[in-house]
């Protein structure tokens, strides 16, 4: 598979993503500068974490106007797999590829630590290798991860199984104490209505190999590759 | 024309910065201060002499970029420069 890692000015997890797909999972990786206008030949894309455009105005607010975003919208519309991690999630929200918005963490602090998330939907292209309800330990590192949306949209996310990950305690119980940032309904990750776009605050690329003491994040990328292998046609974007 | 734009979190959305400031004010003895909201202030010049046109442009800027209307509200005023 050929996985595109989108690089914005200020992305800083781009090489971690590259490392996981290339070295850990043995795939081809193409680094895609944000000025690119085509994603032709890519099987899936990842929007990495970081501080695109210095988080000016709002996280992801400026990056969403990068030329590559038009191609990503087309890619997503044609069914291509898109995953946004942390700042990548924030960009997908600002771009309207996923519903909702991010507020400052309830504590006002930048929170950098391992958290537990429960797999609420194991039937997505990103979680197929997980068990329903499985608890994953994945680190977070953000100051704006307090997910918010209006009550109608939230009800839609719940009804359509679009909430993919919820913050939970190590036993898998979704409690207010397990919520590191004040996210509505303990939301850690959501997917699009069509299911091919995922946004999540935890960093699976930082927990994808034994050497780092945690392999839980690898399940997501392995799921993604498995799902792509099952696709009859190569996804080609305009 | 100069546009003076204020963007704040919508009423009803928790503003943790506002809350922190409120507590600090309280500890300073300003116990009658409440409902602190923190926002952004932006100024920009619009090269446009027609006020209605300038206003339409500023509104569009707010909707498309300057505010995220899921969580924020905005208000602006236009002054002749």
Query: What's the predicted TM-score (pTM) here?
Result: 0.93
How far apart CA A137 and CA A140 sit, in angstroms, is 10
- pLDDT, tens digit, 9 for 90 and up, residues A74-96: 999 999 999 999 999 999 999 99
Q: Which residues have CB under 8 Å from A143's CB, separation 6+? A: A104, A105, A108, A109, A110, A111
User: What is residue A178's predicted lDDT score, i.e. its pLDDT?
Assistant: 98
Give the model's confidence band at A208: pLDDT under 50 very low, under 70 low, under 90 confident, else very high. Answer: very high
> Does A237 have pLDDT greater than 80?
no
Average pLDDT of every residue of chain B = 95
> Does A127 have pLDDT greater than 60?
yes
Q: Which residue in chain A has the smallest CA separation from B42? A: A57
> Does B23 have pLDDT greater than 90?
yes
Structure-block tokens of residue A71:
């191609």
For residue A105, the number of C-alpha atoms closer than 13 Å in the C-beta half-sphere is 17
Q: Is A52 exposed, middle or buried (0-12, 13-18, 19+ CB in 10 A)?
A: buried
**In the 8-state DSSP scheme, what is residue A217?**
T
Q: Does B56 touch chain A (CB under 8 A)?
A: no
Query: Could you report the predicted ipTM of this complex, rounded to two decimals?
Result: 0.86
User: What is residue B81's predicted lDDT score, i.e. its pLDDT?
Assistant: 83
- pLDDT, tens digit, 9 for 90 and up, residues B36-67: 999 999 999 999 999 999 999 999 999 999 99
Average pLDDT of every residue of chain A = 95
What kind and span of H or E run contains A69?
Answer: helix A67-77
Structure-block tokens of residue B7:
């963007």
User: What is residue A231's predicted lDDT score, i.e. its pLDDT?
Assistant: 81
> Does A232 have pLDDT greater than 70?
no
**Closest of A7, A16, A2, A1 to residue A218, by C-alpha:** A16
Structure-block tokens of residue B38:
């923190």
Chain A hits for B66, CB-CB cut-off 8 Å, are 57
> Does B5 have pLDDT greater than 50?
yes
Active site positions of A, annotated: 86, 203, 205
> CB contacts < 8 Å between A and B, how many?
33
How far apart CA B47 and CA A139 sit, in angstroms, is 48
Q: Which residues have CB under 8 Å from A193's CB, separation 6+? A: A160, A162
């Amino acid at each position: 598979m050929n996985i595109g890692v989108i690089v914005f000015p200020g992305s800083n997890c781009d090489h971690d993503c590259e490392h996981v797909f290339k070295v850990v999972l043995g795939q081809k990786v193409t680094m895609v500068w944000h000025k690119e206008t085509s994603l032709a030949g890519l099987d899936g894309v990842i929007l990495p974490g970081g501080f695109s455009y210095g988080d000016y105005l709002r996280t992801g607010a400026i990056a969403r106007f990068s030329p590559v975003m038009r191609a990503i919208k087309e890619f997503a519309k044609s069914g291509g797999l898109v995953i946004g991690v942390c700042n990548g999630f924030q960009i997908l929200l600002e771009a309207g590829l996923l519903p909702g918005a991010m507020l400052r963490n309830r504590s006002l602090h930048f929170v950098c630590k391992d958290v537990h998330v429960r797999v609420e939907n194991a039937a997505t292209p990103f979680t197929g290798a997980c068990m329903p309800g499985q608890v994953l330990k994945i680190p977070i590192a953000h100051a704006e991860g307090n997910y918010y949306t209006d009550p109608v949209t939230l009800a839609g996310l719940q009804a359509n199984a679009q909430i993919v990950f919820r913050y939970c305690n190590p036993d898998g119980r979704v409690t207010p104490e397990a919520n590191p940032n004040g996210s509505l309904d303990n939301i850690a990750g959501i997917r699009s209505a069509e299911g091919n776009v995922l946004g999540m605050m935890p960093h699976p690329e930082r927990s994808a190999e034994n050497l780092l003491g945690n392999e839980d994040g690898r399940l997501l990328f392995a799921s993604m590759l498995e799902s792509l292998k099952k696709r009859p046609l190569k996804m080609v974007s305009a | 024309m100069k546009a003076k734009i204020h963007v704040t979190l919508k009423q009803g959305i928790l503003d943790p910065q506002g809350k922190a400031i409120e507590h600090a004010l309280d500890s300073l003895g300003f116990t009658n201060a409440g409902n602190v909201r923190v926002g952004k202030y932006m100024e920009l010049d619009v090269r446009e002499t027609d006020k209605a046109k300038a206003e339409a442009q500023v509104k569009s800027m707010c909707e498309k970029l300057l505010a995220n209307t899921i969580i924020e509200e905005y208000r602006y005023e236009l002054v002749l420069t």
